[in-house]
Amino acid sequence: MEVALYEPALGYYRRDVARIGYGPGTDFLTATTSSPLFGKLVVAAVSELVGPGGSPGLEFVELGAEVGPGILDGVPHPFRSARVVRLGEPLVLEGPSVVFSNELFDAQPFRRFRFRAGAWRELGVCVAGEGPEEVELGPGAPQPAALPGSPAEGYVIDAPVAAAALARTIAIQPWTGLFLAFDYGKSWEEIAFDAPAGTARAYHRHVLGNNLLAFPGEQDLTCHVCWDWLKEALLSAGFADPRVESQEAFFTRHAGPFIEAFAASEAGRVSREKLSLLQLLHPAHMGQKFQALWAIRPPGRP
């Protein structure tokens, strides 16, 4: 997955092409497709979370954005400054900040395990013959967690270890303020007991598929993050009470006044932004598919 997504010459995210949106050649949609409304919702929610008067002292840092404008481009905001850290750029965080990401963690490499003949076996990829093939690896690195003792034969676990490592890298840097990540994930219990086929999927031309080895370097590969692991990374670095809420619940609870005012201004007509709000909040669209993990590290606890 590291090679297929990030290798400089071949990786999917290294190609200078449009990946997100409705246009020809794109592969998937994200909340940023609904910009600038998504940015306005984020600003409203962050302002509520950090409290009155807290926003002007914060730098807003967006991590992992695609090429093009960040979510705050053209969006009025109260922050001291705003910047975007893109793939391959130095990740330096310091001082009072809002550290934000959207679908950054689900695109990190994972380790795949399958239960066969009474034992967990780690899977890898071998390039031979007509193309890449899935193979069982021999004994190697320790398991990332305690895998279930007696799963069904063929149970697959996609362990999102790189996402957890990235969360630790972000959390240990000398900054204080709000961590906010939108993504899709599960608890470790759900990954270990409720997802027998694993959670990794591929997206190519807006079609969801299970063949992770098709179109290497030309399709998106993604895996549900483990919210428990990300919470642990934040807690160990001094963040207080990390919480996971559905995207619908997060914006409804923390950007309610903005949504109410927006709905009133759009009443009686159908607009592109009104349809974008429906897409972001409705449970049948992105409202329940995505979640928000947020936590605050107060001053004095970097």
CA distance 109 to 223: 8
Of 3.40.50.12780, 3.40.50.700, 3.20.20.100, 3.40.50.12710, the CATH number of 2-108+159-297 is 3.40.50.12710
Q: What's the one-letter identity of residue 216?
A: P
Any idea how long the chain is? 302
Mean pLDDT lowest among 132-136, 142-146, 194-198, 225-229: 142-146
Residues 6+ apart with CB under 8 A from 7: 14, 217
Quick one: pLDDT band at residue 17, thresholds 50, 70, 90? confident
Whether the CA torsion 92, 97, 101, 105 is positive or negative: it is positive
Element holding 37 (H helix, E strand): helix 37-50
The per-residue pLDDT for 58 is: 97
* Partners of residue 112 on adjacent β-strands: 123, 158
The per-residue pLDDT for 268 is: 79
CA distance 246 to 250: 6
The predicted model scores a pTM of 0.92
The per-residue pLDDT for 165 is: 97
Give the domain ranges of the chain.
2-108+159-297
Give CA separation, 289 vs 42, 218, 248, 283, in Å.
17, 24, 9, 7
Residues 6+ apart with CB under 8 A from 163: 105, 106, 108, 110, 223, 225, 226, 229, 230
The string of pLDDT tens digits covering residues 259-283 is 999 999 888 787 888 888 998 999 9
What's the number of CA atoms in the CB half-sphere (13 Å) around residue 252? 13
The SS3 assignment for 95 reads strand
Burial of 127 (0-12, 13-18, 19+ CB in 10 A): exposed
Mean pLDDT lowest among 31-40, 119-128, 212-221: 31-40
> Do 61 and 83 form a contact (C-beta atoms < 8 A)?
yes
